[in-house]
Amino acid sequence: MDTITQMEKMFAPRSVAIIGASDRDGSIGHSLVKNLVNGGFEGDVFPINPRYPEVFGKKCYGSIKDIPIVPDLTLLAVPAEVSNATIKEACEHGCRMFINIASGFAEVGRRDLEWDMKETLAEYGARMLGPNVFGVYSAKASMNATFGPSVVKPGNVGLISQSGALGVALMGKTVTEGIGLSAVVSIGNKADISECEALEYLGHDDITEVIFLYLEGAKDGRRLMDIAKKVSKKKPIIAIKSGSSEKGALAAASHTGSLAGSDKIFTAALEQAGVLRALNLEDGFGWLRAMADLPIPEAEGMVIVTNGGGIGVISSDSAERYRVRMLDDTEMLEELFRPTMPSYGSTKNPIDITGQGQNKEYEMALDIALEDDRIPAIVGLYCQTATGDPTEIAEAAISSIKKSKKKKPIVFSMVGGKGIAESIAELNLAGIPSYASPDGAMSAMGALYKRYRRLKVEDEEPEDFQMDLEKIKSIIKNTWDKGMSNLTEDDCNLILKEAGLTFPSSAVAKNLEEAKKVANEIGYPVVMKILSPDILHKTEFGGVRLDLEDDEELEIAYESIMATVRNRFDKARINGVMITSMIKDATEMILGFSQDPSFGPVIMFGMGGIYVEILQDVAFRVAPISRKEIMGMIREISSYPILAGARGKNLRDIEALADAISRISYLSNHVPEIVELDINPLMAMDQGKGCLVVDSRMTIRGEVK
Amino acid sequence: MKKLIITSTRTHAGKTTIGTGIAMNSNMDCGYFKPLGDRPVYSKKALLDRDTEVFKEWLGLDVDPNDCSIGFEHEKIRSSCQLEGASQTLIDKFEKVSAGKELMIIESGRNFTFGSSLCMDADSLGNTLGGDIILVTEGDARLIIDKVIAAAKVFRSTDSKLAGVIVNKVSEEDEYMLDEDIIPALDEENVNYLGHVPLHPELEKARTALVVEKLHAKLVAGANGLDKRIQKVMVGALSADAALRMPAFQNEGKMLITGGDRVDLILVSLSEDTAGIILTNNVLPHPRILSKADQLNVPIMSVPMDTYTTAKMVEHIVAELMPDDLEKKELIKNLVKDGVILDKIL
């Protein structure tokens, strides 16, 4: 049975049994029955509890075995300790879909109770939502199978929440905000069904047009990302992920590992999947309202209509921050908007109809903005004045929208005191998303434009490369079989060469005489690095000497490396030194990946060199990534202008960098035995001259089946 | 010219401590020669020996440090001395640095045998350059006696002149061993006892600057606190609450090794008496924490290694003498004056 068919039993059941139903008002077992009945559920409801003859006017059964049919959905409101036995009994009766409301499981350390239930579910091929959830609401079935608010406004927003308490609060907030819900799912401990199944179902659900997701973590990030990628092509997903502080940074030996805090990976994954990530509830709800009520803009460009210069300027700043492009065709704007304002008003975007502007002027300006096809989106601002009445302004805006046959996004912000909150509520009820701050309005417009750009992007397949993966894996296996988890530089280079990356001229020298010979063949200046399987951090052990210009400097460098390393780590096995030509005129970048337990390989690219952790100018993507995504990744770093030839500097070989990232993405995805890779620095040369690997580090694990 | 060849029974026994102590108490115009370097400092493409810098600074020597040693690595020395031979190079360099001096301190490599294949061990130095050999030793009484007797046999076999033995780092509770075991055993072998230097805790403590140098760490805050002396190294594995309950955590001069994401522990460690914080795995805390560390002069350094590797590396850092450590200079001068029988040496 596919996921959608299975989930249909949860979101659109024909019958529901409530084991642990209660006659006691205020108890969970009572609220579940009450909400189901009062919510208008049209299917059969079977309260089950041997203590009561009936619950909330419905006949109550002593046991699941006593009810005349096999219910599509079974709600469990029984103590944690008896959950498994109850599920087993219900499975014996034929039940296959459960919502386990009870708490007292993994969240208090009783993971064992969840393991028992999972075993039972697997034995019978049954599914379960929870435990530790507040239930499910589904507008499609008029089913409020929750112990949350009894009044829910049906609509087009699907809500998935990992937090029970926050989920209940969000449900309540949608009621006061007038946001209609198509479904609410609380996913709790995710012992079986997780956000993945819920998202897949709501993505498929006809009445859900926008999905709001609150997450604290994902057990299978890769699966979530794959599902979200598909769903976000059809409908917007807004996500709030808590725990965005750096506390969760991974402890790893590589730059990539340490910079890739779990939240950064999550953010990258959600972005790649086309999910709109809100950083707080205010933004999330603001975007939700805009997505639920408005069409997506059809082109870049927006006008601000305002009666105050101050909030106009604040909004212009916000527009830049949220990447909303303001229309700047001054002639067109002058021609269109001059009649709406006194002579001292401004037709330069923001359109300032001045404090003299009342409902008539607003309506006129909004009519023009709505009707002219050259204006794709509108932000209306109102600053309370001594003479104006906000209610009239709101009515003018509503009238303007009602008149217009054009479908374009318009958001509003009203700032002031008396009457403002009521006017905002009025606009919201009329389907014009309105906010108490100009920043909130612009943030919502920014989200609409993000969605617009997402829909414009066509998916592209990651590149395919010819790499001898068997050879790469055998190098790794050889090292692993020797009991080592870090590759020598020689082996690391071999793998990267096999992956198609390029290197400066280099050669291994076993002693000083060979080193001199090699350096003269390569040509000075050169770099000398210790070769030792025991020294992973060559620089920190004093094993690297740069910019050696002649034999004399080379001799001193050789002696200093050997003496320093022996002084610090006299048991180190030294296999010689690597002599490499010194690259000078280039930009130092970093490229690497680490295997995230939830998302798999995560690629990192950014500014490299010794200050990489301090600058933290890096971008992340979950592999594999297409060329288009790679170019976005390169442009995302703050130092991109340096690569693009800022301030008269040479343009670096961005195509070569993209090729290197693409190859590393392929390698990371096909050789899971590589746990972490750091190429630092990766030297970006002038355009047409490629990019060169100067130093790299690779950590491996045993064969991954 | 008086020539003293300072050697030891094992590495880090205290040759430089004894050498500088004797020189500072001699009231003679001193010179220093250490043919085989073992404390490399690579800077601006030049390689120097840290001990040479210490002598130069503490004794005010007007000498090019490059002239004070021949090299560090056997392979390099063999290669550079192949034309004229190692012994000739030794003599030439020595003549250059000893010209006009009343006292020359000649320091051997790690121990009395080190450099034998290059004819630069203590015995060969005695034969080639002449002078009295002073054997510095430390440790357990039985080991001291065994090693000194073995060394004495070597020196006698080639007629090198062993002036005697100085026992270094003698703890208060071990002093009885000198009279009961060591001195009688040396007398029996006709080896002179030249005094002892007590174990002084301050000499065993490194400054934060040395840790930054030895770990090649990135100093990210608190540069003004690098002179602090490390009294206690701690690995930050506990919670902040638990750490605060540990008496050792209240110690002045503590150095903490922990991950950059252990914000709680870093914050409770930020006090003026903290000698430094080493952040492992390249994870850096918020810039505000770094700014606070700057205000309090608490050096914070970042290393790419994990905490275990870092702790092992810190543990192996020997509290070497540094040229600008004038507190240790005075301490050594006084300890040698009080403990070493200088009349028998000079």
Residue in B closest to A610 by C-alpha: B218
pLDDT of residue B83: 52
Mean model confidence pLDDT for chain A: 90
- Least Cα distance to B340 among B178, B166, B87, B208 occurs for B166
Q: Helices in A569-615 by DSSP H: which ranges? A: 612-615
Residue in B closest to A255 by C-alpha: B282
pLDDT of residue A256: 46
pLDDT band at residue A585 under the 50/70/90 scheme:
confident
Q: With contacts defined as CB-CB under 8 Å, which chain B residues touch A567? A: 38-40
Q: With contacts defined as CB-CB under 8 Å, which chain B residues touch A255? A: 282, 304
pLDDT at position A503 over 80: yes
- Least Cα distance to A467 among A255, A703, A674, A689 occurs for A674
- Domains in chain A: ranges and CATH: 3-216 (3.40.50.720), 301-456 (3.40.50.261), 505-582 (3.30.1490.20), 587-700 (3.30.470.20)
Percent of chain A with pLDDT over 70: 97
Q: With contacts defined as CB-CB under 8 Å, which chain A residues touch B313? A: 568
Number of Cβ within 10 Å of residue A180's Cβ equals 17
pLDDT band at residue A247 under the 50/70/90 scheme:
very low
How many angstroms separate the CA atoms of A160 and A212, rounded? 6
CB A517 within 8 A of CB A485: no
Query: ipTM score here?
Result: 0.81
Q: CB-based contacts of A365: which residues, under 8 Å, 6+ apart?
A: A305, A337, A340, A341, A351, A353, A357
Number of residues in chain B = 346
DSSP B70-115: -BS-HHHHHHHTTTT-HHHHHHHHHHHHHTT-SEEEEE-SSSTTTT
Q: CB-based contacts of A556: which residues, under 8 Å, 6+ apart?
A: B42, B45, B46, B47
The shortest CB-CB distance from A537 to any of B45, B80, B304 is to: B304
The shortest CB-CB distance from B72 to any of A258, A548, A563 is to: A563
Judge: A562–B215 Cβ closer than 8 Å, yes or no: no
Degrees, nearest 5: CA angle A513-A514-A520: 95
- Least Cα distance to B166 among B144, B190, B143 occurs for B144
Residue identified by tokens 């999550």 is A266
How many angstroms separate the CA atoms of B242 and B318, rounded? 30
Q: With contacts defined as CB-CB under 8 Å, which chain A residues touch B303? A: 537, 540
The shortest CB-CB distance from A613 to any of B73, B76, B302 is to: B302
CB A428 within 8 A of CB A178: yes
pLDDT of residue A458: 82
- Least Cα distance to A479 among A679, A663, A668, A675 occurs for A675
Backbone angles phi, psi at B276, to 5 degrees: 170, 160
Give the DSSP H/E element, type plus range, for residue B333: helix B326-339
Judge: A614–B218 Cβ closer than 8 Å, yes or no: yes
Question: Å from B254 to nearest chain A CA?
Answer: 23
pLDDT tens figures, A61-89: 999 999 999 999 999 999 999 999 999 99
For the segment A219-226, the average pLDDT, to the nearest whole number, is 89
Degrees, nearest 5: CA angle B13-B16-B20: 135
Is cis: bond before A339, omega within 30 of 0? Answer: no
pLDDT band at residue A254 under the 50/70/90 scheme:
very low
Question: Å from A245 to nearest chain B CA?
Answer: 10
Residues of B with a Cβ under 8 Å from any A Cβ are 37-40, 42, 45-47, 71-73, 75-76, 79-80, 214-218, 220, 259-261, 263, 280-284, 286, 302-306, 313, 316
pLDDT band at residue A249 under the 50/70/90 scheme:
very low
CA A342 to chain centre: 47
A246 and chain B in contact, CB less than 8 A = yes
Q: With contacts defined as CB-CB under 8 Å, which chain A residues touch B316? A: 568
Question: Å from A131 to nearest chain B CA?
Answer: 31
Residue in A closest to B220 by C-alpha: A614
pLDDT at position A246 over 60: no
Q: Say if strands A237-241 and A276-278 run parallel, antiparallel, or are unpaired.
A: parallel
Task: Collapse the DSSP code of A188 into the 3-class scheme (helix H, G, I; strand E, B; otherwise coil) and give the result.
Answer: coil
The one-letter amino acid at A629 = E
The shortest CB-CB distance from A251 to any of B39, B45, B259 is to: B259
pLDDT of residue A255: 44
pLDDT at position B198 over 80: yes
pLDDT of residue A333: 93
Q: CB-based contacts of A346: which residues, under 8 Å, 6+ apart?
A: A309, A352
Residue in B closest to A553 by C-alpha: B45
pLDDT of residue A245: 44
Residue identified by tokens 């386990």 is A100
- Least Cα distance to B52 among B41, B70, B40, B65 occurs for B65
How many angstroms separate the CA atoms of A151 and A149, rounded? 5
For the segment B52-66, the average pLDDT, to the nearest whole number, is 92
Give the DSSP H/E element, type plus range, for residue A545: strand A544-548
Q: With contacts defined as CB-CB under 8 Å, which chain B residues touch A699? A: none
Mean model confidence pLDDT for chain B: 91
A562 and chain B in contact, CB less than 8 A = yes
pLDDT band at residue B282 under the 50/70/90 scheme:
confident
A257 and chain B in contact, CB less than 8 A = yes
How many angstroms separate the CA atoms of A480 and A482, rounded? 5
Q: CB-based contacts of B334: which residues, under 8 Å, 6+ apart?
A: none
How many angstroms separate the CA atoms of A139 and B116, rounded? 90
pLDDT tens figures, A138-157: 999 999 999 988 888 899 99
Q: Which of residues 518-547 of A touch B (CB under 8 A)?
A: 537, 539-542, 545
The shortest CB-CB distance from A614 to any of B217, B284, B304 is to: B284
Which residues are paired to B31 by β-bridges? B104
Number of Cβ within 10 Å of residue A21's Cβ equals 29
Residue in A closest to B37 by C-alpha: A563
CA distances from B115 to B8, B35, B66 (A): 13, 10, 19
The shortest CB-CB distance from A540 to any of B37, B216, B286 is to: B216
CB A121 within 8 A of CB A88: no
pLDDT band at residue B7 under the 50/70/90 scheme:
very high
Judge: B261–A558 Cβ closer than 8 Å, yes or no: no
pLDDT of residue A258: 43
Task: Collapse the DSSP code of A620 into the 3-class scheme (helix H, G, I; strand E, B; otherwise coil) and give the result.
Answer: strand
pLDDT tens figures, A619-646: 999 999 999 999 999 999 999 999 998 8
CB B115 within 8 A of CB B108: yes
Q: Which two tokens stand for residue A236?
A: 């917007």
pLDDT tens figures, A188-220: 889 999 999 999 999 999 999 999 999 887 878
- Domains in chain B: ranges and CATH: 2-200+321-345 (3.40.50.300), 206-315 (3.40.1390.20)
Degrees, nearest 5: CA angle A316-A321-A327: 45
